[in-house]
């Protein structure tokens, strides 16, 4: 019976992720749809594995005997998830330690870490309380007005705690890389994250100056990293510039009704009461 539960969860997760390739509509529609399709399948699998572990390898459920195979399978699944989380956390900690070796500078009343490289880079590094890291190349190539727009954009990431939330989303991505459309949904969430930070910045600085800053960075920096591709790749850059030039779209908050849909992923836990 436990094996049937596991196979059912895997089938539902696979089917839901199969619908994750359509990214049309407004920012809010895309964000809610992508986040649900990205999070719900792994949450369902995770809850099913926990339910199987709670019920144990012995006893009956629905008149059918349970066994060790499904129990061990669930245990292996959760162990792999834990290992991936520890591995990701260690890599993040290494990044934080590396950043803390950079000198702390004060620029226009803002404290930030100065990265000794000619590459144009600015980003938030950390977990819940991230730090702004900016390269010497960016300071040398952008005017004070353009730098202000970059700072506003990065403040948007800090405001929404993107480093914290995308650490966990990155963990989910690692755990479900075998599901369909995982990478497509991940890339969509990354660009939506950038659009949200752009909207935050556009409410505080001139959107045209921010668009100019994006073009200046792209024109002088080779696209090499995954995050850079997601933020400033050709089609991604076009989306960001068009959003900045268009009428700004309000950034809605995810209300309680949206999160209610995730309660269905906890249904496997209800099966525990039918186990004896």
Beta-carbon neighbour count of residue 90 at 10 Å?
Answer: 10
Beta strand 60-61 pairing with 131-135: unpaired
Predicted TM-score (pTM) above 0.75: yes
Structural domain harbouring 167 = 2-274
Task: List pLDDT tens digits, range 5-64.
Answer: 888 899 999 999 887 666 777 777 888 899 999 999 999 999 999 988 887 776 565 555
Cβ count near 40 (within 10 Å): 18
Of 192, 207, 206, nearest in space to 251 by CA: 192
pLDDT of residue 148: 92
Q: Please, which pLDDT band fits residue 244 given cuts at 50, 70 and 90? A: confident
Per-residue pLDDT, 267: 87
Q: Is 21 helix (H, G, I), strand (E, B) or coil?
A: coil
Helix (H, G, I), strand (E, B) or coil at 142: coil
Distance between CA 66 and CA 272 in Å, rounded?
12
- Token pair recorded at residue 222: 């080779």
Q: Per-residue pLDDT averaged across 117-133, rounded? A: 88
Distance separating alpha carbons of residues 52 and 37, to the nearest angstrom = 24
Q: How far is Cα 154 from Cα 177, in angstroms, rounded to an integer? A: 28
Q: CA-based Rg of the chain, rounded to a whole angstrom? A: 22
- How many structural domains does the chain have? 1
């Amino acid at each position: 019976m436990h094996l049937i539960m596991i196979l059912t969860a895997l089938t539902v997760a696979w089917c839901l992720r199969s619908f994750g390739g359509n990214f049309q509509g407004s920012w809010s529609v895309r964000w809610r749809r992508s986040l649900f399709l990205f999070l719900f399948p792994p949450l369902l699998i995770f809850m099913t594995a926990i339910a199987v572990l709670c019920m144990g390898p012995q006893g009956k459920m629905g008149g059918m005997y349970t066994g060790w195979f499904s129990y061990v399978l669930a245990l292996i699944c959760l162990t792999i998830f834990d290992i991936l989380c520890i591995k990701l956390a260690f890599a993040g900690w290494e990044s934080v330690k590396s950043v803390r070796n950079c000198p702390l500078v004060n620029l226009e009343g803002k404290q930030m870490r100065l990265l000794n490289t000619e590459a144009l880079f600015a980003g938030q590094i950390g977990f819940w309380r991230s730090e702004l890291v900016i390269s010497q190349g960016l300071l040398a190539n952008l005017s004070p007005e353009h730098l202000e727009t970059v700072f506003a954009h990065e403040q948007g990431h800090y405001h929404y705690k993107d480093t914290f939330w995308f650490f966990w989303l990155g963990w989910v991505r690692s755990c479900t890389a075998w599901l369909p459309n995982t990478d497509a949904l991940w890339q969509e969430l990354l660009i939506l994250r950038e659009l949200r930070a752009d909207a935050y910045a556009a409410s505080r600085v001139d959107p045209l100056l921010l668009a100019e800053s994006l073009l200046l960075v792209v024109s002088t920096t080779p696209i090499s990293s995954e995050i850079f591709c997601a933020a400033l790749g050709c089609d991604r850059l076009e989306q960001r510039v068009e959003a900045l030039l268009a009428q700004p779209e309000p950034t809605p908050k995810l209300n309680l009704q949206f999160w209610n849909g995730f309660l269905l992923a906890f249904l496997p836990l209800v099966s525990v009461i039918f186990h004896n």
